[in-house]
Amino acid sequence: MYRKEKSIQIKNSASALYNNLGVLRIAPRRLTCFTAVHANVVNMVSASWDGLNYSHRQLQSKEPNVATSTSLIMQAAFCALPSRDLLVVTSQKGIQMYESDGSTMVYWHALDTPETNTVFDVPSKGSNITLADVIEGHKESITDMASECCGGEVCVADLVSADDGGNLCVWKAGEEFSLLNHIPGFDISCSSVKLWKGTAVAGYGTGQIRLYEAVTGILHAEVNAHARWIYSLDVAPFSGLLLSAAEDSLVRVWLLSMSPESHSVEIGHLHNECVTDTQICGAKFCDSDGYAFAVTGYDLSEIIRYTQS
Amino acid sequence: MSLRTLPLVFINLGGEMLYILDQRLQALNTSEDNSEKVMTDIVGAMFSKDFMDELLKPQQLYSHRTLKTVLTRLAHTSIMRLSQASMDKLYELMVMAFKYQVFLCPRPKDLLLVTYNHIDTIREFVQHTPVVVNQVDETHRKVIEVYSSLPEGEFQLLRQTLLIFLQDLHVRVSLFLKNKVQNPNGRFALLSSGPVPPGIDVPGLIRMFDRKGREVRRGEFPTGGSYTSPIREGCFELHGDRVIRLGMNIYSRNHPEETYISKPPSVKQKDDAPNLLAKEELNLLARLMGSMKAEDMAETETGFRINLFMTDGEEGGTGTSGGAEQSSFEVINIQAIQDEQAATQLARIAGQFTEGDKLPESLSTNKGADLLALMDDL
């Protein structure tokens, strides 16, 4: 179903962090930007679609000479907002936001506790970003968040956040964020969560994937997907393809579909890829249809790509 | 990242160091008395209350340089002396063994079982010296107390912090290559077969539920591996069957393997150039050195000389030899020699920190410079 393409070399190897791959597709410039975190550095590479040009950039946490633990980066992710794209980099010290090509840092916010969601107001240009809200909902460290852009349809749930206890919080965005639902966990970390058509897709340290109806918390499906800790999930919104990647060296492709009779989501397995001897830490689709996806692994200095054959 | 890595790092790295030293001492027919004295002295220093208390304080994990300095000092609390080159090679071997254990740990909290495997074997090394056995037991109890209640997510964070620390190290170890746990490119083998860890279900099952929570359908999918049910969980108490074998002594006395190490060709040496150590890191170094038992270093019985590895070949440098693409293993001659100068310098540093004295809040630039100079001279 998929075949391996030419890998992209990155300057440093990827660190073992959840969701350690960022992908931003910039259609007007016919290129795709990838990010992978190595300790206190974000490696960025922009790959042109014709495969001929690769440009690299590195963003470093504040203190370049001394890699103390608190400046280690926990996650770097692209946020595609309606008006602009930003690269958000988080460490235990704080949050940094950059223009999506990494050229300028537009904002820096120091963090006190890792258990709160912080909300920022981002204008369409410039660095006048303000802290809008700090929402509390988790008692444990937050591991991942996902939101859904529904386009024309009405969305009930806008945002879901997951934590180290496996708890999921479902939010409605607005002037103020309101908690719609809290789905309790089983003391197993949820390392990655995505939102698709109102379904929260969550990956856990037990290697399981669970599909919950976000607003009601009803469990629709449970998959014993991996033999080790899941590190990354991604959904291709237009096709419903789901990607799961774990420390067991496997990436699996699934298909999510809404069953018309039961109005509930179903999941079927499509494909496996094994990255030999590698504990995978990031896997993302490169486009909204899921035509291609990319993978990073611990200690691996390349981004491996696959496209549908 | 995690602030609780140091105790596990020291116990595991120190444990590997002791395994290697023990094996070499045996292989060279060192007298029973001398062997035991070396092991007991090092274990006694490592598991001393003051030293462990320093380690157990929540703090960051610093650089390999600091660790290596402290481990060298620990080794030198015995009557044995190691040259810098020996220590470098020994450190690489220890670190690769530890990386293997952390990488292959089935569940994050099994890091504790790996640590307990080390502690169990260390206890055997010093079994004839009750005072030191007590120290080991005390430390073991403290570790159980601090770590047993950590949730699995915290352990994974700890493990991730360790993996960052151990990143990009691909030194090939002959014993690992021989047992096929490491590939010729230096990476460890990950199998997609075997028992899943306790608490994890064998992959392959999809279950669907209706709105009332009843299972309405189940299906299977091809996993691309051959996993089996989990075996029993190891024991996290003071004594017991740990079940997992990571962390056990692979340098068995019965098979005195010569253990070679070599770097994969054309690998960029991780930059070891003296970067400024953070002030915090220097502080940690001072605290750790100061909390170690200050042996009387001037006592000079005839130097204790052991070859840690095979004797042919010249003493290897620390850099990669250029141009050796298809490298046969660099055979390394490591000698433990009595280094009067190093001993005196260490004694001077040790003498500055007598037991019971409170260390100054931050090092004056003088003391900081002394420690830096010491590390440059080593």
pLDDT at B271 exceeding the cut of 70: no
CB contacts, 8 Å: B209 with chain A = 218-222
Q: State the DSSP string of B251-277.
A: S-TTS-----EEPPTTPPPP--S-PPP
> At which residue do the structure tokens 């690998």 appear?
B267
A123 min Cα distance to partner chain B (Å): 31
B 225-264 residues with CB < 8 A to A: 225, 227
pLDDT of residue B201: 92
d(CA B350, CA B366): 16
Q: Hey, is A284 helix, strand or coil? A: strand
Give CA–CA dist A74/A40, Å, rounded.
9
For residue B187, is pLDDT > 50? yes
Chains A, B: CB pairs < 8 Å: 151
Tokens of B245: 């074998």
Distance of CA A174 to the CA centre of its chain: 22
Q: Which tops the pLDDT comparison, A187 or B371? A: A187
pLDDT at A90: 80
Tell me, yes or no, if A164 comes closer than 8 A to chain B by beta carbon. Answer: yes
The answer to whether residue A111 neighbours chain B at the CB level (below 8 Å) is no
Using CA of residue B245, residue B247, residue B248, residue B249, what is the dihedral sign? positive
Q: Which of A69, A92, A189 minimises the CB distance to B153?
A: A189
Helix, strand and coil in chain B, % to nearest 5: 45, 10, 45
Lookup result for tokens 């995505």: A194
Question: What secondary structure does DSSP assign to B75-119, as a single string?
Answer: HTTSSB---HHHHHHHHHHHHHHHHHHHHH-SSTTHHHHHHHHHH
A274 in reach of chain B (CB within 8 A): yes
- Strands A130-136 and A116-121 turn out to be antiparallel
Q: What percent of chain A stands above pLDDT 70? A: 84
B51 closest CA partner among B368, B362, B356, B293? B293
Rg of chain B over all Cα atoms, to the nearest angstrom: 22
Partners of B207 on chain A (C-beta within 8 Å) are 221-223
Tens digit of pLDDT for each residue in B337-367? 333 444 444 444 444 443 333 333 333 344 4
Q: Which residue of A has its CA nearest to B191?
A: A277
Residues of chain B with C-beta less than 8 angstroms from the C-beta of A198: none
A261 vs B: CB within 8 A: no
Residue A208 touches partner B, C-beta closer than 8 Å: yes
Q: Does A218 contact chain B (CB < 8 Å)?
A: yes
3-state DSSP assignment of residue A87: strand
Is the Cβ–Cβ distance between A207 and A224 less than 8 Å? yes
The pLDDT value recorded for residue B114 is: 95
Note whether A207 contacts B200, CB cutoff 8 Å.
yes
Q: pLDDT digits over A232-280, tens only?
A: 999 999 999 999 999 999 999 999 998 887 778 899 999 999 999 999 9
C-alpha distances (whole Å) from B311 to each of A150, B176, B250, B308, B333 are 70, 21, 22, 9, 5
Region B40-47: what's the mean pLDDT?
Answer: 91
B156 with A189: Cβ contact below 8 A: yes
CB contact under 8 A, A69 and B277: no
pLDDT exceeds cutoff 50 at B145:
yes
Give CA–CA dist B48/B34, Å, rounded. 21
As a whole number of Å, the end-to-end CA separation of chain B is: 31
Output the pTM of the full model. Answer: 0.83
Q: Strands, E, within B229-366: which ranges? A: 261-262
What ipTM does this complex have? 0.88
Structure tokens at A157: 């749930």
Record: contact B153-A165, CB cut-off 8 A: yes
Which of residues 58 through 97 in chain B touch A, CB cutoff 8 A?
60-63
B226-253 confidence digits (pLDDT tens) = 999 998 999 999 999 999 999 999 886 5
CB proximity A132 to B under 8 Å: no
Q: Which two tokens stand for residue A263?
A: 């109005």
Determine contact: A225 vs chain B, CB below 8 A: yes
Antiparallel, parallel or unpaired: β B215-220 and B205-209 = antiparallel
Tell me the residue type at B191: L
Tokens of B366: 């003088």
Phi (first) and psi of residue B175, to 5 degrees: -65, -40
Residues of chain A with pLDDT under 70: 61-71, 111-136, 149-157
Q: Which residues in A128-167 belong to E strands, given as ranges?
A: 130-136, 142-147, 159-163
Among B161, B208, B278, the residue with its CB nearest the CB of A221 is B208
C-alpha A274: how far from chain center: 20
Instruction: Report the helix count and the strand count for chain B, using DSSP H and E.
Output: 12, 6
pLDDT at res. B158: 93
